Amino acid sequence: MLRETSQLKEVFIVRYADDFKLFCKKRSDADKLFQAVQMWLRERLSLEISQEKSKVVNLKKHYSEFLGIKMKLWHKGNKWVIKAHVHDKAVEKAKSTLKDKVKKLQKISYAQKR
């Protein structure tokens, strides 16, 4: 009922610490919300948002990254669903960390054999 009788914009918020994503159904709502959040953060909290990390993205066309996960909308039957994958940068970091740990274990194992 509120959706039909109100001028309020429907938005879903996902937040972790100081990172957050806002999800809207329409691009026009997303653009207005982006400007409003940017102004609110600046005026109320004296915070500036990162221009390279903050933008409006159409998830039907492009991926968006959040907390090391990249997500995109995919058409499934008669609805849209989120497909999520580990972000490429997070995969590379995990591989690098794993390689370093394996090398460390090999050094320990080699030292014990001597």
Tens of pLDDT along 2-54? 777 887 778 888 889 888 899 998 899 999 999 999 999 999 999 998 888 88
Contacts of 9 (CB under 8 A, 6+ apart): 24, 29, 32, 33
Contacts of 66 (CB under 8 A, 6+ apart): 14, 19, 21
Main-chain phi, psi angles of 79, to 5 degrees? -140, 170
* % of residues, the chain, pLDDT over 90: 46
